Amino acid sequence: MNTNVLHKKYCFEKILNETAYYTDHKVWHNSWREYVVVRVIKDLQGSQDFLYDEAQTWIEVSSHPNVVCAYFTKTFDSKPCLFIENTVGKNLTSIPLQYSTENFPQILEFAIQISQGMEYLHDERVVHGALLPDNIIVSQNGRIKINNIRWEFAENLENAARGLRPLFTEDPFDFDAQKIYKKFATLPPEFFLTTNFSWKENFAADVYAFGMLVYYMCTREFPFYFEGNLKKLFAFYTRKHERGSIPTLKQKYSYVFNEFSELVASCLSPSPQSRPSFATIKSNLHKIYESYTGINYIAETFPDTSLLSISLNNRALGEIDNKDPQKAKSILRDVSLLHTDRISAILNLKLLQLREQKISLRECLESTKDLQYIDPQKIIRFQCMVCLEFGSFIQDMVEELDKITQKDEQLQFLEGLLYYRMGEYEKARQIFRSLVKTENATQELWYLMGASCLALQDEKSAHQAWSEGLNYPLPYFDLFLAYGMVVTSMGDWPKAREYFEKGFHSEALKIQHPKNNWSHVRTFYTRRNIIDLAITKKKRYISVTTIDGIEHIWSWPQGEKQQQVQSSMQIPLSRTGRIHRSFFSEHMSDIVFGENKEVGISIHGDSNIKIWNMKSHTCTHELKEHNKAVTSIAITSTGKLFVSGSLDKTVKVWNVENGECLLSLDEHEDCVNCVDISNEGDIVASGSWDKTVRVWDILNGGCIAQMCNLQGDITSLSLSSDGSMAVSGDACGNIHILDVPSNTKIAMLQGNRKSITQITLSRDKSIIIAGYVDGTVRVFEDISLRRCPCWVESPFVLDRLTQPVSLEERQQVAFWQDKAENFIHNNKVEKALDFYKKILDTTNENLYLETLKNVTAITKKYGARSREINNHKLISIFYHDSGIKDFLILNDDYFFSICENSRLYRWQVSEKSCDVFWQKSKYDFSCFVMTPNKRNLCFGDNNHFVHLWSPESDNWKILEGHTNNITCVKTINDTLISASSDGTIQFWNHQSGDPLGICQSIDYITDLAITDDHSVIISSSLQGNIKFWETSTQKCILQTNKTAGPTSQISILDPEKAAMVSCGTDGCLKIWSMRSGNCNDVYKIATNEALTSMSISREQNVALLGSNRGNLYLWDFEQEKCINQIQAHTGKVVKVHLDPQGFFGYSAGSDGIIKLWAFEWQF
């Protein structure tokens, strides 16, 4: 344990505490980028196993605001170690607090927080066993944290219980008499007066220790003072307890608050049965606080699911540290359902999936962006780190950071790293220069400062920075190597060797040097599709040609736009010399030239290839070996060989001089879309629509390397001049890099979602340039070739509770709530709304949803009418493991949902948590509804069946009658109604499942609406026909007079005015008369979008609509305008729901997410 770095990720900084049984180290956890306390358990007198068991008990305790967390155990050098939360603060011994009129409220608040933590531990059936002042930490944010759960001298106490009391006073490490005295002072009388004392579930012992602790807070001493031989301490306390002579606070301070003194005395009762529980203690302390101050004590509250989520997330990180990522993923998936606001678990799961290549970086960024409403800075930090680790979207992250006005030190650090990665070294240096002056400066910051200076050719400043950095904490091993270079230049070889050995032989070096050397460094923008790319031999300029014939040139690495010229034949645009097809009189899809420009090879959109003499502009050979259109050609630099790829799935190698086909390669399973050939013509690469890249050796005609099962069709390909590296771009915007000699995929780089149209690799294989169909150009660089690469590994996210809301703020909010309720009671609605608005503007997010519900109730009861929407806010996100099919609102706090894997979820909105009810994977459910008696669920599926399920009895019935998929199910009293794409509406008894009737139609029915009196059913269809059916006769009684266009949903807008509304694929909202069937109004809501779902708030007279592009629209019928638009989902909006007052809206997407929105209205 002497080394500073263990297991490649733990940097031991200093010893915090040492006892006979353990040593506490302050440790930097490199994979978390957090400090933790690592407790190394010593093997003394056989105590190691016992203490290890105690450690497991501590770990099993879920997180609580007033309890220090234990994360996991791990073994170092055969020594078990416990990883514990690093709590920065002071213990009670260090805080100068004593009873006085001014200090009493503070003493009460500390006592309340301690009682909260102890109540929680006892609820978990855990006895603390050592409630000492040294084990109570007051953190920097004012929150009390109880430390050393089931730990402090527990082994000695067990020995004492077995009659081995002399061991307790002969502990060689307990040389401090005061420390031993404090331990004995908190022990209950029964410890001294009984021979069979046991700590197991002895909760009363903790209550006694709490009484002593409070006594100590008030007096700064314990009731008895002892001087003398420590071996006589046990006898001293035995005599004191036999006499029952424990003084009360009232005896110490006559002016102490009576109720408080009595409560402390009850805790110190000689009889364990007479001591109160911590629930009672907490309740009484609240009353004492309120009686003394005249103000209610408002305690911090956290949902149990939130606390459990924190514990499980951190436990999952322990599994990762212990090399069990599969178990960690299983835990993290559960956490994401347990409490949707605990985003650390989601981020950690995404990072694991990224590293296992289960998801793409683009998918990770898109899904985590939805979480910014919870903690925007945490999300942007995570996104920056994963982009730096995986080498993509670097400039995109810089642009995101530019939107943030207030950046903390972590974001500034990341901004500097991003600028450094982009080659913007001066900007990076300025940021690092400011950060090294802060109190949190580390060796890494000084190294980056020096690296930026070195990149700017300022070697003197670099050397100074690296020399200075050695004086700072957290060893950074690149700094050792850099400083070794400095002293080497000074000729101090022994010293240089010392630092080189530290760097090269350190276990931690692998942390900072990942396998992927490639990174996105810059993005350029044009307006049109990219058709060609090139970089000059010396990498001084990048040339890009767009489909409109414009050539764009940027200097490199400065990235400055040089000129924009019309392309011509005299300007070779790439290594193979492609030019725009418009320079030949006949249609060409591509043409390439040899290096001397004497020979040209062209393809023309058919199966033919033509060889041209460029001096005479005549065709010398026309080659017709391919059976289908030729898609791509490439020629060697010597102009002797060329290669072609075709829709006939073959790759062919040709002799330019005589047009002979030398080799035909046919292992691709789909069309070959792109090809390239090395300078010497011995290596050929091909990319296909079968999502593979293959590299061929022409000499033996065999495939020597390949990349299979890529995400998209291969659209572009570039082979290095020596044939040792192939890079490909696909239709999904991904770049894949293949090392040919080892047949190893080096990296996958990502850019736009748009297809890559052209890709090229510099001659020295250090730069990749990709052009996209939207006109974007992205430059990627092998950063391992830089003098100081600066590697980054994204940390896992340790979860913790948010900063506490101060007691004053909690009391202020409670005061506003009381005032609002009083105004409601006196019918002063406007004043009540003013106070609720104040609560909504506070930082207390826990009150937001509750307050909005109160506002909703007011508007419903008193008819307060809003005029304009003031704001919308994302309140909660509910993740599913596949796309949403349907959801069903039960009440204000619960809803059901089903997704594509036919799993049914029940969600509790207030707790933001979920139960997975059950899964029927063999059924492909499309929609569902609950019967009016709330006992049965009715499902429709895509296999023409209707299902009835009773959760209570688990009785399952399948109803047959439809011939195609079910699109909608509704209920009226005891009747279930199902609609299908087969054109029928069928009626069933929802208890017995017996058929009751059928409505015949020829339309593909998409939705049903039912009038309030249940007399009429209205159906919409893809054919645009809206029909009215009489429930009693099941006959069509009315049809709209003109087609509505393909209609996705209908709803009744105003029963009194007999008005209904429909939406459909044309993006329009249409108002219909239910009496005449005429269309009264048409409103264009969305352009180039289909409206897929709709929900009406009759009281607010607004509609919430969803589109196939993931947008939400809030439409006001009175103002006849769209009053809000939200980009809500990355996929189609499947369903929306708006509450009757228009304050809350749900949206469900094919992206597997349900979102809860709050709409704030201006009254």
Residue 1143 falls within a domain, yes or no?
no
Segment 1130-1143 mean pLDDT: 90
Angle ∠(906,975,905) on CA atoms, nearest 5: 10
Closest CA to 1146 of 914, 899, 894: 894
Supply the CATH number for residue 23's domain.
Answer: 3.30.200.20
Closest CA to 394 of 772, 785, 33, 749: 749
CA distance 97 to 220: 7
Express each pLDDT in 168-205 by its tens digit. Answer: 444 434 445 556 667 778 888 888 888 777 777 889 99
Segment 280-286 mean pLDDT: 95
Close Cβ partners of 46 (under 8 Å, ≥ 6 residues apart)? none
CA distance 642 to 555: 31
Q: Are residues 72 and 93 in the same domain?
A: no
Express each pLDDT in 638-676 by its tens digit. Answer: 888 999 999 999 999 999 888 999 999 988 999 999 999
Segment 5-33 mean pLDDT: 84
Residue 568: both structure tokens together: 């011509």
Q: Are residues 713 and 577 in the same domain?
A: yes
Confidence category of residue 1163, pLDDT binned at 50, 70, 90: low
Express each pLDDT in 239-267 by its tens digit. Answer: 777 777 677 787 777 778 889 999 999 99
Residue 742 falls within a domain, yes or no?
yes
Q: Domain boundary at 848, 864, 880, which?
A: 864
Angle ∠(417,418,421) on CA atoms, nearest 5: 85
H-helix segments, 150-303: 154-161, 166-169, 177-185, 189-193, 203-219, 233-243, 249-252, 258-267, 278-293
Whether 491 shows a pLDDT value over 80: the answer reads no
pLDDT at 227: 61
Amino acid at residue number 526? T
Q: For 569, which DSSP code? A: T
Q: Are residues 539 and 571 in the same domain?
A: yes
Strands ordered across the beta sheet of 550-555: 530-535, 541-546, 550-555, 561-566
Amino acid at residue number 91? N
Confidence category of residue 99, pLDDT binned at 50, 70, 90: confident
Buried b (16+ CB within 10 A) or exposed e, 983-1018: bbbbbbebeebeeeeebebebbbbbbbbbeeeebbb
Residue 1051 falls within a domain, yes or no?
no
pLDDT, the chain, mean: 84
Beta bridge partners of 686: 675, 694
Whether 579 shows a pLDDT value over 70: the answer reads no
Segment 871-900 mean pLDDT: 89
Residue 497 falls within a domain, yes or no?
no
- CA distances to 222, 288, 546, 573, 579 from 525, rounded to whole Å, are 74, 67, 11, 18, 21
Segment 381-389 mean pLDDT: 94
Beta bridge partners of 592: 601
Q: Are residues 855 and 840 in the same domain?
A: yes
Residue 930 falls within a domain, yes or no?
no
> Do 1070 and 1079 meet the contact criterion of CB atoms below 8 Å apart?
yes
- CA distances to 343, 625, 636, 667 from 664, rounded to whole Å, are 54, 10, 17, 10
Confidence category of residue 925, pLDDT binned at 50, 70, 90: very high
> Do 425 and 452 meet the contact criterion of CB atoms below 8 Å apart?
yes
Q: Domain boundary at 246, 266, 289, which?
A: 289
* Dihedrals phi, psi of 968, to nearest 5 degrees: -160, 140
Residue 4 falls within a domain, yes or no?
yes
Neighbours of 664 (CB within 10 A): 13
> Do 81 and 70 meet the contact criterion of CB atoms below 8 Å apart?
no
pLDDT at 709: 84
Q: For 586, which DSSP code? A: S
SS3 380: helix
Q: For 64, which DSSP code? A: B
SS3 650: coil
Residue 422: both structure tokens together: 């982009």
Neighbours of 963 (CB within 10 A): 11
CA distance 186 to 824: 51
Q: Domain boundary at 32, 57, 86, which?
A: 86
Q: Are residues 124 and 36 in the same domain?
A: no
Q: Are residues 123 and 11 in the same domain?
A: no
CA distance 696 to 653: 11
CA distance 558 to 545: 20
Q: Are strands 541-546 and 550-555 parallel, antiparallel or unpaired?
A: antiparallel
Q: Are residues 600 and 730 in the same domain?
A: yes
Whether 430 shows a pLDDT value over 50: the answer reads yes
Q: Are residues 600 and 575 in the same domain?
A: yes
Residue 324: both structure tokens together: 């069990």
Would you call 580 exposed, middle or buried from its count of C-beta atoms within 10 A (0-12, 13-18, 19+)?
buried
Whether 530 shows a pLDDT value over 70: the answer reads yes
pLDDT at 286: 94
Segment 138-165 mean pLDDT: 64
Express each pLDDT in 790-837 by its tens digit. Answer: 888 889 999 888 777 778 777 887 888 888 878 777 777 777 777 777
Segment 445-459 mean pLDDT: 93
Beta bridge partners of 879: 1153
- CA distances to 369, 894, 1107, 1152 from 1128, rounded to whole Å, are 11, 21, 10, 12
Closest CA to 147 of 233, 203, 82: 82
SS3 643: strand
Among 155-159, 734-738, 943-947, the least confident range: 155-159
> Do 593 and 600 meet the contact criterion of CB atoms below 8 Å apart?
yes
Amino acid at residue number 304? D
CA distance 580 to 570: 11
Percentage of the residues of the chain whose pLDDT score is greater than 90: 41
Close Cβ partners of 957 (under 8 Å, ≥ 6 residues apart)? 947, 948, 949, 993
Confidence category of residue 1004, pLDDT binned at 50, 70, 90: very high
Q: Are residues 572 and 542 in the same domain?
A: yes
Strands ordered across the beta sheet of 1005-1010: 1005-1010, 1016-1021, 1027-1030, 1035-1039
Among 279-293, 478-492, 735-749, 887-901, the least confident range: 478-492
Confidence category of residue 868, pLDDT binned at 50, 70, 90: low
Among 705-709, 856-860, 1107-1111, the least confident range: 856-860
> Do 757 and 715 meet the contact criterion of CB atoms below 8 Å apart?
yes
Q: Are residues 176 and 28 in the same domain?
A: no
SS3 660: coil
Express each pLDDT in 756-775 by its tens digit. Answer: 999 999 988 999 999 999 99
pLDDT at 710: 86
Beta bridge partners of 5: 11
Number of domains making up the chain: 4
Residue 55: both structure tokens together: 């450690």
864, containing H or E segment? none
Beta bridge partners of 652: 644, 664
| Residue 1089 exposure: Cα atoms within 13 Å on the Cβ side | 22
Q: Are residues 746 and 633 in the same domain?
A: yes
Closest CA to 928 of 995, 987, 978: 978
Q: Are residues 732 and 648 in the same domain?
A: yes
Q: How many residues does the chain have?
A: 1163
Furthest C-alpha separation in the chain: 122
pLDDT at 1045: 83
Residue 1131 falls within a domain, yes or no?
no
Q: Are strands 1102-1107 and 651-655 parallel, antiparallel or unpaired?
A: unpaired
- CA distances to 461, 850, 913 from 327, rounded to whole Å, are 48, 36, 21
> Do 1125 and 1101 meet the contact criterion of CB atoms below 8 Å apart?
no
> Do 98 and 219 meet the contact criterion of CB atoms below 8 Å apart?
yes
pLDDT at 163: 37
Close Cβ partners of 522 (under 8 Å, ≥ 6 residues apart)? 394, 395, 422, 423, 557, 559, 778, 779
Q: Which domain holds residue 259?
A: 87-289
Buried b (16+ CB within 10 A) or exposed e, 620-647: ebebebbeebbbbbbbbbebebbbbbbb
CA distance 1135 to 806: 40
Closest CA to 111 of 246, 299, 248, 256: 299
Closest CA to 584 of 600, 606, 565, 608: 600
Whether 340 shows a pLDDT value over 90: the answer reads no
pLDDT at 746: 87
Residue 631 falls within a domain, yes or no?
yes
CA distance 77 to 79: 5
The whole-angstrom distance between residue 924's C-alpha and the CA centroid of its chain comes to 29
